[in-house]
Structure 1
Amino acid sequence: MSTTSLPAPSVAVVTGATSGIGAATAERLHQDGFHVVVTGRSQERGKAVVAELGPRAHFLEADLTSDGEPDRLLRHVADHIGRVDIVVNNAAQDHTGDLLDVPVAEIRSTFEINTIAAITVLQAAGRLMRDNGGGSIINITSRLASIGVPTMAIYSASKGAIKALTTAAAVELAPHNIRVNAVAPGMTRTPLYETWLAAQPDPHATAAGVVDGIPLGRLASPDDVAAAVSYLASPGAAYITGTTLPVDGGYTAR
């Protein structure tokens, strides 16, 4: 009697996936049938995410700002799981501050994780995918890559660089069957948002003002962003590359 083995699930690596948008994205891709690798700097949170997901999920602790860490991370995934099909470049840190007074150290720190680490992850993923028939890289940028908001200039610049990288990398890597796209969330109800809101002088008025500026009349949820990533990772998006998909309730369409 002959047996037919089922194909192994595709593998998705999600950076910065221990909370918020990253955790929701890991959950959605897991639901889509991917073998999901969750990465981040917190073992406690990462292991909790993976325990919630169950089978086909692993956590790998990683500090993507360390020299060579993206290569080590993705090579480890390829060597131990067998492939890397999708990489979601989500790891980032927030930054606010009056532009003219931001210390150089804060600028460097923000760009180190939001821009340089994201570039090196893309490079490491691209090298693996080039040698294995292709894949899909999805960068998480921001509405702030396209608009100006007071006190957010450094963060905006760090994310704007990744938006530009997305289009350039899509063209350069297309001959290797590597698609590169981005998702640009608007204001999203994450723990980071809740912390920011709680620090405002009048949180209720601030929350109302944020929603008033969104045509659809509500904040994004992490699941809204994860759904967009899911689409770009799917076979249905096989002919889409070099695009940035806004998930902002129409904010940047005004």
Structure 2
Amino acid sequence: MQCDGLVAVVTGGGSGIGLACVRAFLAAGARVGVLDLELSGLPDDPRVHGVRADVADRSTLAAAVAAVAERFGGIDILVNNAGISAVGAVQENDDEQWTRVLDVNVVGVARTTAVALPYLRRSSAAAIVNVSSIAATVGLPRRALYSASKGAVHALTLAMAADLVADGIRVNCVAPGTVDTPWVARLLSAAPDPEAEKRQLAARQPTGRLVSADEVAAAVVYLASAGDGSVTGSSLAVDGGMSGLRLPARR
């Protein structure tokens, strides 16, 4: 899991899983460009270059990616992490919400990848890691829109891997379970009983706890590292066993 001398770009790197990825890449020896709307929480490190950008706006993305490439001399790794949530059954989200979430979570991945590809094609260690979710393959209650977006990210990962393998660019995704992040904390705060809701979220994972952002980041760095040259078109679950294990109910 070494990324010595490589340059990684992380979208949504200002908090949560994205910020954990920034720190993990630094620990692995990489330099990191962070694309986000909020950059105040980034590490004070000369190897980190934050650029304000919106994955729903191609022009800001193109300028931000170019700024990172100019600062560090190229780009080797792209982590498509930026995303937004949605709660509700299929009839509960209106057309505006569907358009917004799919635009950020799915088209945002395609936009960012498209503007980064010219730089990735110049790298001898190019890799793309998309952040999907176990919601892509496991039915969760009241997550119809979010699950649809992450299912699309999973499918897009496979299609991108097929298109880019001849260019020497590996494409994989991580599929986290419920991660203990500020994003999840905001969702919990809207529940009638946040502590009870958090216990329920933790209990649905066989490990009995929420996944940590650092655990997801470690998987991202593994998939991006130069030593992982034969892994492409894969989805790595970091979900406490939720997607694969069927255990007896706790008594």
Are 1:36 and 2:6 counterparts?
Answer: no
More helix by share: 1
Q: Secondary structure at the match of 1:87?
A: strand
For residues 156 and 207 of structure 1, what CA distance do their matches in structure 2 show?
Answer: 20
> Is the 1:50–1:59 Cα contact (8 Å) retained in structure 2?
no
Q: For residue 72 of structure 1, report the CA deviation from its aligned partner.
A: 2.4
- AA matched with 1:211: A
For residues 92 and 209 of structure 2, what CA distance do their matches in structure 1 show?
Answer: 32
> TM-score, with normalisation over the residues of structure 2?
0.91
Are 1:231 and 2:222 counterparts?
Answer: yes
Aligned to 1:20: 16
Q: For residue 69 of structure 1, report the CA deviation from its aligned partner.
A: 3.1
> Is the 2:58–2:111 Cα contact (8 Å) retained in structure 1?
no
- AA matched with 1:165: L
Aligned to 2:108: 117
Are 1:104 and 2:73 counterparts?
Answer: no
Structure 1 runs of 4+ aligned residues shifted over 3 Å read: 131-134
Aligned residues: 242
Give the one of 197, 211, 218 matched to 2:209. 218
Q: For residue 57 of structure 1, report the CA deviation from its aligned partner.
A: 0.8
Where do 5+ consecutive residues of structure 1 fail to align? 1-7
For residues 67 and 177 of structure 1, what CA distance do their matches in structure 2 show?
Answer: 25
Q: Secondary structure at the match of 1:235?
A: coil
- AA matched with 2:193: D
**Coordinate RMSD, CA, aligned:** 1.5
For residues 138 and 132 of structure 1, what CA distance do their matches in structure 2 show?
Answer: 15
Output aligned runs, 1:1-254, within 5 Å: 9-42=5-38, 46-51=39-44, 54-133=45-124, 135-254=126-245
- Residues 1:215 and 1:101: Cα distance change in structure 2 (over 3 Å): closer
Q: For residue 37 of structure 1, report the CA deviation from its aligned partner.
A: 0.9
Q: For residue 134 of structure 1, report the CA deviation from its aligned partner.
A: 5.2
> Is the 2:82–2:104 Cα contact (8 Å) retained in structure 1?
yes
For residues 185 and 216 of structure 1, what CA distance do their matches in structure 2 show?
Answer: 13
> Is the 1:166–1:180 Cα contact (8 Å) retained in structure 2?
yes
For residues 189 and 70 of structure 2, what CA distance do their matches in structure 1 show?
Answer: 44
For residues 156 and 205 of structure 1, what CA distance do their matches in structure 2 show?
Answer: 23
- Residues 1:198 and 1:48: Cα distance change in structure 2 (over 3 Å): closer
- Residues 1:208 and 1:80: Cα distance change in structure 2 (over 3 Å): closer
Where do 5+ consecutive residues of structure 2 fail to align? 246-251
Identity of aligned residues (%): 38
